[in-house]
Amino acid sequence: MPTYKAPLEDMKFVLNDVIDYARLTGLPGYGEFDNDTAMSVLEGAAQFCEEVLQPINQSGDAEGCRIENGNVFTPTGFKAAYHQYVESGWPALAADEAYGGQGFPQTLRFAVEEMICASNLSFGMFPGLSHGAYHALLLHGTDALKTTWLPKLISGSWSGTMCLTEAQCGTDLGLLTTKAEPRDDGSYAITGNKIFISAGDHDLTDNIVHLVLARLPDAPPGIKGISLFIVPKFLLDTNGAPGADNAVRCVSIEHKMGIKASPTCVLAFENSIGWLVGETNKGMRGMFTMMNGARLAVGMQGLGLSEVAYQNAVSYAKDRLQGRSLTGAKNPAGPADPLIVHPDVRRALMTIRAFNEGARALSLWVGTHLDVHEKHTDPAVRKDADDFVALMTPIVKAYFTDMGFECTNMALQIYGGHGYIREYGMEQFVRDARIAQIYEGANGIQALDLVGRKLPAEGGRMLRFFFHPLSERLQRTALDPQLNEFAEPFAKVFTRLQQATQFIALKSLANPDEAGAASSDYLRMFGLVALGDMWLRMAEAAYAKMPTANGDRAFYDAKIKTARFFFTKMLPEAHGLFARIMAGAGPVMALEADVF
């Protein structure tokens, strides 16, 4: 059975020594959330994840969800765990205090989400979707809607979903056919079917608040004619409690490759009563609010699963005796040496470790920009922070989940045949990780978003908030004798990224296929550079702490050695990606379609 230990020491290092979490306490409303309070939150979350969520992860996967007479039931232990989650106040952690939230920084929510995803991804789907519904309503709902629905969503008494996909439309939402007919009282009758609805029905909460995309009778065609509606499973009575059934039916639940303890539902809306969120025919604004937040959260799924896979693979590699070290026996008293002495096993473990620690730092850095965007008093600063988050969203979603799947696969490989059977739990991590590359916008779509929207936006304005600080950091660290070994090769890769950016921008003006053909390679290259930026900062922080480290010296020494592995063994991949980008669209598009 797999185990999990929250990486609190590494989280604390990133928060305190790399991204300067303390500066957030200067933002309006964050003054009381100092370092000690933040660490207390993380320690509480770690205990909940390790002691409550992780023990029911493997059993929940084996049991799965079931549907009986249109009602969905979660696996044994999930309902009790969810009630404990609610009673401990976790749903309200980073929610608006005006509606019952605790108002903690979003940065801490990112750290907590990683722990939840690592310990029990299926469980994390329920509060994750609810937070997305909360955020969309907070930004786009009327005061009446917010007063009615947000307190219960924030407390966790009710849960939320996002209902976009239909059988004939996934990415291309302009094809959706769900109808919204106006009613005399200002509400709407919603009719249509939605598929792939995560947490679409379950037994954890008293009500489920669906956010549904639908089309008004006079709506223009395509994506410009979509509106967003709030459609609860149960209508509210005069006391604001769940009452009459609202004709939202769970037709079936999908039989999936992974996240089996999270019900993925087919929902039928049959003249279900709903209320408009935002303006008519402007529903994508609200849904993109929810989706962009979900994309960052899905990135954390890739990181969380990679972390728990790494921990278990390390434990196995230290215990499993197989063969002798190439340089002589390391366990001469035993029949063989442990797996961890073998270079290829170490290569895999170091790759996973370097990704995990770099991705953790980047995710928390993005989290601080969310907080600045929400709380800073200067509109210009808020705008800059929002642009940085927008630029990083496809990177976090796609690169983190691609690597999450690759890393769980590498971890499984270390187990050999034992990794392929259920007893050890590794195959579940691989299965669970695979969906993250698909939902909330498949990773190919994220790559197109990066090259087609984020790069050219406002003449490349978004890039400046990443490129300029990194350029300055490289110039400064190149002069540091300790950091030069990292900064010098990194500067060459960064130059390649800038050249690739210019190549895509120029070539795609004449032929948009150029951007499409380069997009996935470019996103991965960008992801490597973004992690390189964090590794350069972490190495600098580790060197700064070493003289006074005392008992923590081994931690900082390991950080520097892992940085060295990243810059010498992982970052060079960027040169190959650059070559593929510069080859252009020709080799991709040359073969006639009927020859495939």
- Distance (Å, rounded) from C-alpha 191 to C-alpha 502? 47
Task: Assign 3 to helix, strand or coil.
Answer: coil
- Distance (Å, rounded) from C-alpha 366 to C-alpha 360? 10
List all residues 6 or more positions away from 585 whose beta carbon is below 8 Å from its beta carbon. Answer: 507, 511, 513, 514, 516, 517, 518
What's at 348, amino acid-wise? A
Closest CA to 287 of 201, 194, 353, 202: 194
Count the residues in the chain: 596
440 is catalytic: yes
- Distance (Å, rounded) from C-alpha 587 to C-alpha 178? 40
Positions of E strands within 136-285: 158-163, 179-182, 188-198, 207-214, 227-232, 234-236, 242-245, 248-253, 264-277
The answer to whether the CB of 244 falls within 8 A of the CB of 207 is: no
Catalytic residue among 113, 374, 440, 540: 440
User: Quick count: other Cβ atoms within 10 Å of Cβ 257?
Assistant: 11
What is the 8-class DSSP label of residue 71?
Answer: E
For the record, the structure tokens of 568 come out as 């010498």
- Distance (Å, rounded) from C-alpha 200 to C-alpha 262? 9
For the record, the structure tokens of 292 come out as 């962009």
Q: Enumerate the active-site residues.
A: 440
